[in-house]
Amino acid sequence: MSAPTSPTPDSKDKNARPLPEKLCGKRILITGGTGTTGQHLIQWLQSETDAEEIIVYSRDEQKHHDLQLNNGIDLSRVRSFIGDVRDIDQLKVAMSGVSLVFHTAAMKHVHLAEEHPIEAHKTNVLGTRNVIEAAIDCKVNRVISSSTDKAVDPINVYGNTKFMMELELMGADRENKDVTRFDIVRHGNLIGSRGSVIPLFIQQAKAGCMTLTYPAMTRFWIGKEELIDSFHRCLMESEGGEIHVPRSPACRIDVLATAIDAEADQEVLGIRAGEKKHEVLTSLHESSRLRDCGTHLVIRREPAVKDERGTAVEDDFQLRSDLEPQLEIAQMQLLLQSEGLSG
Ligand SMILES: NC(=O)c1ccc[n+]([C@@H]2O[C@H](COP(=O)([O-])OP(=O)(O)OC[C@H]3O[C@@H](n4cnc5c(N)ncnc54)[C@H](OP(=O)(O)O)[C@@H]3O)[C@@H](O)[C@H]2O)c1
């Protein structure tokens, strides 16, 4: 077995996206830190910030082991903490001395949440309550959580649990302003994330046939750098109680499949229970609390708060994946290549 190594100092791009002054040199915890989003956050924090320690909180020891063997991980600053967000006592131990929490742990597969609603509820809703309570108990300064377009006008169990998660977090921010501030980054599909459609299509294409449920279905696609920009912007701009929504491109699912492999067959299975034809990143009901800042949108918890950022939107505004400009095949191929992915 090869020994884990740390990145060389000159591979670091110091302070490109630094932490806000108040959090400089502090300890940071990432729930779900072994996941795709979590690992992107680790790479950012260790290479561009002066975070003192990055605590990775999740359950599966094998994922921790694999993370530790990853050559890109600086083991002098990244510490594994095995734990479940369902376990509040363990969360409190892990959050001791922590100033900033990124909460990314979730049950995220739509079909599995449909089959096991109570498990999705326990992790995504009750787990988030535990993160909130532990953060307040440990006097954590800021908590930023990952949410999804599926939480907007939800039609499935996963979306409903993430919607509840958002409400819990915004409520916690209202009630605990003096101790801990809570924000959310809500985004579309993260390109190449574990267990998602792009790795599936790439694998299926090798066998000559990709399975699509509904070819005209549209989705938003966000890359790693845009995602980190969004977390960073939220951290820098918000003082709590905000949902930050990066504006990312959209495309049809058959365009994505063709971009991955134009030669492979596309078998149509029919839309599944819990699947939307098109996703919505901001709903009609949020338009009065929303500021359009071009590259991103900000939804405030309170409608009355004065906000100079960006512009207000029309009452009927919603960010919908079928109404946004659609990527064509060549554009999607470029996007995949820029994320290190192709057929
Ligand atoms: N991927 C996307 O396209 C996308 C889009 C929008 C929003 N999001 C949101 O972004 C977040 C991260 O997504 P991702 O794609 O990065 O997920 P991922 O790669 O599947 O990683 C999920 C992480 O959460 C951990 N986890 C799951 N259940 C847990 C529990 N009960 N206690 C502690 N840790 C737990 C997992 O590790 P263990 O299983 O070892 O515990 C893993 O580290 C989620 O909140 C998701 O809703 C994702």
Residue 79 has pLDDT above 90, yes or no: yes
From the candidates 150, 162, 224, 276, which is the catalytic residue? Answer: 150
Q: Dihedral sign, CA of 162, 168, 171, 177?
A: negative
- Render pLDDT for 219-231 as a digit per residue (tens, 0 to 9): 999 999 999 999 9
Give the pLDDT band (50/70/90) at residue 343. low
76 token code pair: 């002098």
Which residue CA neighbors atom 36 of ligand 1 most closely?
Answer: 32
Q: Using a pLDDT cut of 70, give the percent of the chain over it.
A: 95
Probe ligand 1: pick from 66, 81, 129, 190, max atoms within 8 Å of CB?
A: 190
Residue 209's closest CA among 160, 257, 166, 143? 257
Report which ligand 1 atom has the smallest distance to the Cα of 63.
Answer: 40
Ligand 1 centroid to Cα of residue 37, in Å, is 7
Return d(Cα 211, Cα 201) in angstroms, integer: 8
Which residue CA neighbors atom 29 of ligand 1 most closely?
Answer: 105
Probe ligand 1: pick from 34, 93, 243, max atoms within 8 Å of CB?
A: 34
Q: Regarding predicted confidence, which is higher, 308 or 343?
A: 308
104: CATH: 3.40.50.720
59 Cβ inside 6 Å of ligand 1: yes
| Per-residue pLDDT at 14 | 54
- Amino acid (one-letter) located at 144: I
Bridge partners for 29 per DSSP: 55, 101
Kindly tell me the burial class for residue 268, based on how many C-beta atoms sit within 10 Å of its own C-beta (0-12, 13-18, 19 or more). exposed
Mean pLDDT of the chain: 94
Domain annotation covers residue 271? no
Kindly tell me the burial class for residue 12, based on how many C-beta atoms sit within 10 Å of its own C-beta (0-12, 13-18, 19 or more). middle
36 Cβ inside 6 Å of ligand 1: yes
- Amino acid (one-letter) located at 292: D
Domain annotation covers residue 81? yes
Which residue CA neighbors atom 26 of ligand 1 most closely?
Answer: 105
Domain annotation covers residue 94? yes
122 Cβ inside 6 Å of ligand 1: no
Domain annotation covers residue 265? no
Annotation marks residue 12 as catalytic? no
Probe ligand 1: pick from 29, 30, 36, max atoms within 8 Å of CB?
A: 36
Domain annotation covers residue 9? no
Alpha carbon of 277 to those of 75, 200, 242: distances in Å?
43, 19, 27
Domain annotation covers residue 117? yes
Return d(Cα 49, Cα 142) in angstroms, integer: 16
Task: Kindly report whether the global pTM for this prediction surpasses the value 0.85.
Answer: yes
145 Cβ inside 6 Å of ligand 1: no
| Per-residue pLDDT at 13 | 58
Note whether 52 and 124 are within 8 A (CB).
no
60 Cβ inside 6 Å of ligand 1: yes
Please count the structural domains in the chain: 1
- Render pLDDT for 178-208 as a digit per residue (tens, 0 to 9): 999 999 999 999 999 999 999 999 999 999 9
Ligand 1 centroid to Cα of residue 14, in Å, is 27
- Amino acid (one-letter) located at 80: S
| Per-residue pLDDT at 318 | 96
Note whether 28 and 51 are within 8 A (CB).
yes
86 Cβ inside 6 Å of ligand 1: yes
- Render pLDDT for 30-47 as a digit per residue (tens, 0 to 9): 999 999 999 999 999 999
Q: Where are the alpha helices (DSSP H) in the chain?
A: 36-48, 61-69, 88-95, 110-115, 117-120, 127-137, 157-175, 197-206, 224-237, 253-260, 329-338
Alpha carbon 297 to chain centroid distance?
16
Residue 182's closest CA among 131, 103, 239, 240? 240
Contacts of 269 (CB under 8 A, 6+ apart): 211, 212, 213
159 Cβ inside 6 Å of ligand 1: no
- Structural domain harbouring 231: 23-187+223-247+281-318
- Render pLDDT for 267-303 as a digit per residue (tens, 0 to 9): 999 999 899 999 999 999 999 999 999 999 999 998 7
Give the pLDDT band (50/70/90) at residue 152. very high
128 Cβ inside 6 Å of ligand 1: no
240 Cβ inside 6 Å of ligand 1: no
Domain annotation covers residue 157? yes
Residue 88's closest CA among 140, 28, 147, 128? 128
- Amino acid (one-letter) located at 60: D
Question: Residue range 104-117: average pLDDT?
Answer: 97
Give the pLDDT band (50/70/90) at residue 130. very high
Domain annotation covers residue 2? no
Bridge partners for 79 per DSSP: 55
Q: Using a pLDDT cut of 90, give the percent of the chain over it.
A: 92
Ligand 1 centroid to Cα of residue 288, in Å, is 31
